[in-house]
Structure 1
Amino acid sequence: MIRLPNPMLDQDRVALLRARKPVRHVLVPAWPREQKELPQVEVEVAWVRFSTLNHRTRAEQRREIHLARQLDLFTVDPLGAAAQEAQYRILRGQEGFKELKEDLKERGQQDPAIITAEGVLINGNRRTAALRSLHQDDVWLRARYVQCLVLPEDAQTEELVDLEAELQVARDFKQEYSWINEAFLIEELYDREGKDFDRVARRMHRTVADVRDLHEKLQQVHQLVDLAQGARLHVDFTDNESAFTELAKHIRTKPPAEADGVRSAYFLGTLANVEYRKLRHLRRPDAAELIQREIERDPALKPVLDAAQSAPSPSLGDDLLDDLLGEAPPAQPLNDLLGLVAARTPDESLPLGDGQKVSARQVLSSLRSAITNVADEAGDEERDQSAAKAPLVQADKAINILKRILKDLPKGRAQGEWDEHVFAVKVAEIQGLLDEIEGTRA
């Protein structure tokens, strides 16, 4: 949750903003209070503090925490040097930062940022980071100051979350979110709003289906990150939204065993960088078994599978994930292999049963080939089944159409413009087609 810094901890910062004479007051419709006009002031870009509790960088912060091996990096002293430098590093590393700097240099700051009474940015973190970089790195003197709207000193935690959610609706603000960070915001609102998706949807000005889908996708990412035990983080799956979308939607109504098998196939395929368009062919009850059989036939992968099964790693059926899944599904054949592979970065090695090791990157490459082959074969099978079913499906449609003709025929014949001859021609054509179809049986 976003926590408003206690003004008692830094009266000097609060007093500085309080003493600044506003250049104007600006209407902010997203501010939840009835009084929506906020004072606009100008402050030095190096003075304001980045929000370390903003959802737009939640996944990236988890990566920084992991790299620093400091769980309280962003909480022990949010306004301190370590947390602020880490947050600044995240903002500078985001996609489009260079273009944002160029735009600010060309057009200047178009919209004011929003800060707390202590000078912590609630909105405008990226723009302020870009201005700071222009001033400090590029020595562009016009970027020395940033225009800010100041929130009331008594602004509460929930008001700040609601403000962020409202601002997120705007297109220019939403572009600063990855889908995972947006899902983090939805997850927090969902917990706060009594696990009521309808209330979250109203807060986000989205449909219930939209917020539910994002929440469900994030739960799948949580599970894969838990399996990885630090080897992979949420931010590593930002580019895999389509795969998690299809996975979450497919397993929503499936029995636990089938859901676990498809999940294992998707997780392993995602780690191996298999195209999600290929993975969709593995949305079937026997997905895990098909992949296991392919791996067992591969001389390069069989020793890895044996090693995983002889020394089980955390799997989707373990207590770690039982709470998320609701119940523990039967163990799937890929779970041990998935646990072993997920918990290693591509630069690490995987242990084999004979004491030897193999490169995780090499294993992932072999897995990509194996899973792609299985997916291609499953796709061919789907097309064959579709071709076999197509005539029956079309026949059902034709039968329904003929039934409607029988039902509507009396009314049609009762109309003055009815043409019996034209209708007879149509019936003859239908009969001719039926004769042709019957003839194909010979």
Structure 2
Amino acid sequence: MTNHNLDQDRAALLEGRQKTKRVTVPAWPRDDNDLPLVQLPVEWPMFSTLNHRTRAEQLREISATGREDLFTRDPLGPEAQDAQYRILHSQDGFDQLKEDLQERGQQEPAIITADGILINGNRRTAALRSLYQEDGVLEAQYVRCLVLPRDATPEELVDLETELQVAKDFKQEYSWVNEALLIEEHYDRADKNWDRVAARMHRAINDVRGMYEKLQQLHQLVELSNGARLHVDFLENESVFDELAKHIKNKSPQESEAVRAVYFLGVLTGAKYRDLRHLKRSDAATLVRSEIEGDAALKPILEAAEAAATETLEDDPLSELLGNSEPPSSLHNLLSFVATKRPGATVALSTGEQLLVQDALKSISSSITAAADEAKEEKRDQNSLKAPLERADKAIAELERVLDALPRARAFKEEWDEVALAERIRIIRQLVQRIELIP
């Protein structure tokens, strides 16, 4: 059965290309998984705009150009292809890949559809193209490709990409965001069945579900920013979103919102991850808000945030019907205000002054650090208060175990050492007396 979505002219050209041999591809799920190998001019294959390892970067390009259909209107057109090439060219490790290809040549063939769209090997092909077109390396003029059958379905292509990457090291070419976006797509395709997703990804259910859950937190922050922040901006913050998702899973809505607001604000302002960890508590937002209010330099930004929230509420036609609801946390208005501002932007204050957002972010980060230090000290004090009782409880439990074990030990009359037990009881009594004398 012919796939009518193929570019038939390109498919015909590729079909007529001389096939040098066939190569077995275990990841291709069909019984006949021997694919023909061809050699093609390096500029002829098309980059896949459905490439999951570039999904977050594509969202950045869409935002930069203001073109929602940049990669979908004409995926094989020059605009989409040039944008995809720029993404591949700018990814970490691209220069090292070029050096390796120039030194050792192409070791593994790429995989393309019947009309020449790259399903696997996008980065290698981009690197070869760069070597040939930009650096004049003649040995990079051609790329070797395995060709999929004409009737390959979109679902099979996604599954093939997943299998090929699972067979390698997922972290090698996928950022955590792009990996999570791929898991999200499989989850939607699998009718939200985690067993099927885990089987497809060859990973534990808790693992793929954890990736999905921290992505949902990132989705919320990106949506809150109203376009000012993108998924790709948070590639270095996986641990923050991971810990946030795990902490709020079984918490009350109030605590979840408080901790989420603090973590989001912390990520936006560049607060240190080790500081945020001390603010996983129900009053986290209150602690941070108190520190911010105590900083005279931040008072104008707080006022601007509250004014913006009031203005937004007044402009909402449903607000009168629904009534004035309280924000989810005491930091919500500030978070919403800051999230929608790029670091290089300025904010007009009620005093008439202009405040650079980057300066406000630094000050807010300092307040978060101060709140974290206070929380850490408070926890240390609480631990000090609880420590004597907790250790006494452990001692009681151990003495109860002595009572249980003693009759069995005394049954071995010849081996049992009653004198040694008496000595330990004497030491225990001395310790109890010393505890009772402590003021």
Contact 1:7 1:118 in 2 (8 A): no
Aligned to 2:431: 433
In structure 1, the residue matched to 2:302 is 305
The Cα offsets for residues 411-432 of structure 1, whole Å up to 9 and x where unpaired, read as 2222353332333333333333
2:213 to 208, 216, 234: 216
Aligned with 1:47 (options 40, 44, 47): 44
CA contact (8 A) 1:22 1:40 kept: yes
1:105 to 81, 95, 102: 102
Counting only pairs closer than 5 Å after superposition, residues 14-413 of structure 1 correspond to structure 2 as 14-172=11-169, 174-312=171-309, 331-413=328-410
Q: How has the CA–CA distance of structure 1 residues 162 and 8 changed in structure 2, closer, same or farther, with 3 Å as cutoff?
A: closer
2-side partners of 1:428 and 1:118: how far apart? 87
Taking the aligned partners of 2:390 and 2:310, their CA distance within structure 1 comes to 46
Amino acid at match of 1:419: D
Between stretches 351-360 and 110-119, larger displacement belongs to 351-360
| 1:223-269 deviation per Cα after TM superposition (whole angstroms, max 9, x unaligned) | 11111111110000110111111111111111111110111111111
What is the match of residue 411 of structure 2? 414
Instruction: Give deviations 1:317-361, integer Å, cap 9, x for gaps.
Output: xx9xxxxxxxx9953111111111110101111232344331111
> Structure 2: which 5+ residue stretches go unaligned?
317-324
Three-state SS of the structure 1 residue aligned to 2:368 is helix
Q: 1:433 offset after TM fit, Å?
A: 2.8
When structure 1 is superposed on structure 2, of 271-280 and 172-181 the one drifting more is 172-181
User: Residues 284-305 of structure 1, C-alpha deviation per residue, up to 9 Å, x if partnerless?
Assistant: 1111111111111111111111
- Give the Cα separation in 2 of the matches to 1:15 and 1:290: 67
Separation in 1 of the partners of 2:89 and 2:371? 41
Q: 1:434 to 1:306 in 2, by over 3 A?
A: same
- Is the 2:3–2:150 Cα contact (8 Å) retained in structure 1? no
For the residues of structure 2 that align with 1:386 and 1:287, how far apart are their CA atoms?
18
Can you list the C-alpha shifts for 1:13-43, whole angstroms capped at 9, x where unaligned?
Answer: 1122222333222222221222222222211
Equivalences, count: 426
Report the counterpart of residue 322 of structure 1 in structure 2.
Answer: none
**One-letter identity of the residue aligned with 1:296:** E
Q: Which moved more, 1:352-361 or 1:90-99?
A: 352-361
| Deviation (angstroms), 1:94 | 0.4
Query: Which amino acid counterpart does residue 159 of structure 1 have in structure 2?
Result: E
Task: Name the % identity.
Answer: 59
Per mean C-alpha deviation after superposition, the further-off stretch among 162-171 and 288-297 is 162-171
The letter of the residue matching 1:437 is I
Cα distance in structure 1, aligned partners of 2:6 and 2:200: 32
Instruction: Report if aligned partners of 1:314, 1:336 keep a CA contact under 8 Å in 2.
Output: no
The AA in structure 1 aligned to 2:372 is A
Residues 78-126 of structure 1, C-alpha deviation per residue, up to 9 Å, x if partnerless? 0110000000000000001111111111111111111111111111111
Structure 1 SS opposite 2:173: coil
Amino acid paired to 1:236: D
CA deviations over 1:373-398 (Å, ceiling 9, x no partner): 11111112112222222222222222
Residue 7 (structure 1) shift:
5.0
* TM-score (structure 1 length as normaliser): 0.92
Q: Deviations over 1:25-79 (max 9, x none)?
A: 2222221222222222211110001110111000000000011110000000101
Note the residue ranges of structure 1 that are not aligned, 5 or more in a row. 320-327
68-77 vs 408-417, greater mean Cα deviation: 408-417
- Distance in 2 (CA, whole Å) between partners of 1:171 and 1:208 is 20
Large movers: runs of 4+ above 4 Å: 5-9
Aligned-partner Cα distance in 2 for 1:73–1:386? 56
Between 219-228 and 375-384, report the one with greater CA deviation. 375-384
Higher mean C-alpha deviation, range 381-390 or range 246-255:
381-390
Quick one: which amino acid aligns to residue 426 of structure 1? R
Q: Is residue 294–residue 374 contact of structure 1 (8 Å, CA) maintained in 2?
A: yes
Using structure 2 for the length normalisation, give the TM-score. Answer: 0.92
| 8 Å contact from structure 2 (residues 6, 114) kept in 1 | no
Following TM superposition, by how much is the alpha carbon of 1:401 offset from its aligned partner in structure 2, in angstroms?
1.7
Distance 2:191 2:176 in 1: 23
Q: Displacement of 1:195 after TM fit?
A: 1.0
1:369 offset after TM fit, Å?
1.1
